[in-house]
Amino acid sequence: MKSPAVSPSIAPTQAGFAKQQWLWALAGGAPAWGLASFFIWQQSWLIYPKILLWLLCSGAWLGAAWGLARRAEFQQQTIGNVVEGIASGDYSQRLRRASANDQLGEQINALVDTLHRQRLRAEEAHNLVESVLQSIDVAIFAFDEQAYLRLANPAALALLHDSQQVLGRSAAELGLAALLTADTAVLSEHVFAGAAGLWRLRRLPYSVDGREQTLLFVTDLKQVLRSEELQAWRRLLRVLSHEVNNSLLPISSLSATLHSNLARGGTADLEEGLAIIHERAKHLAEFVRRYARLARLPEPQKQLFDLAALLRRLPAMLPEAALSLTLSGDSHQAMPSDFKLPFFGDPVQIEQLLINLLKNGVEAGGAPLELRCQAQPLQLTVLDCGPGIANPANLFVPFYTTKAEGAGIGLVLSRQIAEAHQGSLSLEPRRDGAGQGCAAILRFSAIGLGEH
């Protein structure tokens, strides 16, 4: 390749190298030149042929030394330019191989290609991180070891609401010093210049040039909580209005009718009307009692117990379910009588949870039922043979039920119990090829397996 102009910063170094190579080449050829000169002057020739031959030998010696020095200088200059280009981020230069066996040129070109690919990957990763930082709604602050702000994404700048330059200012100046020492296990109340409310904090250490830095993540929970709260209130008010209207409308209508009859002196329908009013008032009181029960689920009293022993008691407790217990694996087999499954939780609540699911399957006309147990990871699946899920959107809406005598809180209570034990409850159509039906699936984390 044709070498570009030499940078002034490396020109003195290359000049010194060229002079050194010139001297080494002269020193290497000096013995041969001296020996040739000795033989020339020892000959019995005329003086002019001797001088001519000696000048030719001297010229060959000096020319060879100059050529070797220039070639070494050119190679060093070329390598220096490539290295300087790499240092400045320019990977377009390559070395031209001097021969087919020029391993140095091949290795340097391979190094340039590798560095170029790494540079492209680093730029792509940087662009991805930059895009995430710009678009994420979590406020991200980066502080150095002296608690000075070095980076803030747009969400963080919006919280600071400061038109002045914030980078380079200390956490104390920005009112963030308390967040760098706050307990991240709990939600924090904090007033920023641009917002106030409830925040979740996360801190992550990282290093830059061997110096400890801190990333502070600040998540605004207000909008999320408000949205979820609004949806919960809407569902609850829809059910409440339905239940209350079902009781108040007949009471209001009957009261008006009875009042009209009494004004006319008639008492024929008084007893029947009062009975209906009593029934609707009793229904409304029962509804309020169920609501209070849902709102006052006690905290689980957790202990280590054998979940398998609890499962083996269920068939006797609910004979109408015709329950069979199986273990999940390559082939479903009956649960052995000596099978043990340590579980850390509240045995009373877990038993109530399973009874609720079994009763739900029986009331749906799904008997006989099957309870499959998977140990790792812990999963309990209640399978019924009923008609399946009619309205999956309202499964966990409080007080919603499609059963004539249903209370509409069994599944809600069951899910609350599961979540209180670091688990989850989901209902989905049965997919094991046994026909229609429903599968109630309980999943628990490793904490439930006694790893507490």
Taking the CA atoms of 267, 268, 270 and 273 in sequence, report the sign of the dihedral they define: negative
Residue closest to 363 by CA, chosen among 384, 381, 348: 384
The DSSP bridge pattern shows strands 324-327 and 370-374 to be: parallel
Q: What is the pLDDT of residues 96-144, one digit of tens each?
A: 665 556 677 777 778 888 888 888 888 888 888 888 888 888 889 999 9
Of how many residues is the chain composed? 452
Q: What is the pLDDT of residues 314-355, one digit of tens each?
A: 998 888 888 999 988 656 788 888 889 999 999 988 998 898
Q: Select the CATH number that applies to the domain covering 303-449 from these four: 3.40.50.620, 3.40.718.10, 3.30.565.10, 3.30.70.1350.
A: 3.30.565.10
- Just give the CATH number of 136-220: 3.30.450.20
Residue closest to 312 by CA, chosen among 296, 290, 335: 335
Q: What is the pLDDT of residues 187-213, one digit of tens each?
A: 787 777 777 667 889 999 988 888 889
Q: Specify the pTM.
A: 0.45
User: Distance between CA atoms of 225 and 216, rounded to whole angstroms?
Assistant: 21
Give the pLDDT of residue 3: 43
Are 129 and 207 in contact, with CB atoms under 8 Å apart? no
Q: What is the per-residue DSSP string for 373-416?
A: EETTTTEEEEE--SS--S-GGGTTSTT--SSTT--S-HHHHHHH
What is the number of other CB atoms lying within 10 angstroms of the CB of residue 284?
16
User: Distance between CA atoms of 420 and 297, rounded to whole angstroms?
Assistant: 10
Give the pLDDT of residue 311: 92
Residues 6+ apart with CB under 8 A from 345: 300, 302, 303, 305, 421, 448
Chain centroid to Cα 327, Å, comes to: 33
Residues 6+ apart with CB under 8 A from 402: 390, 391
| Same fold flag, 136-220 and 303-449 | no
Give the pLDDT of residue 5: 46
Structural domain boundaries in the chain? 11-93, 136-220, 243-295, 303-449
Chain centroid to Cα 201, Å, comes to: 16
Query: pLDDT under 70 in the chain at which residues?
Result: 1-18, 22, 96-102, 162-164, 196-197, 222-297, 329-331, 390-409, 433-435, 446-452
User: Distance between CA atoms of 81 and 3, rounded to whole angstroms?
Assistant: 7
Residues 6+ apart with CB under 8 A from 161: 192, 193, 194, 195
Residue closest to 311 by CA, chosen among 389, 378, 214, 260: 378
User: Which backbone phi and psi does 189 adopt, to 5 degrees?
Assistant: -90, 125
Give the pLDDT of residue 310: 92
Structure tokens at 318: 């609910």
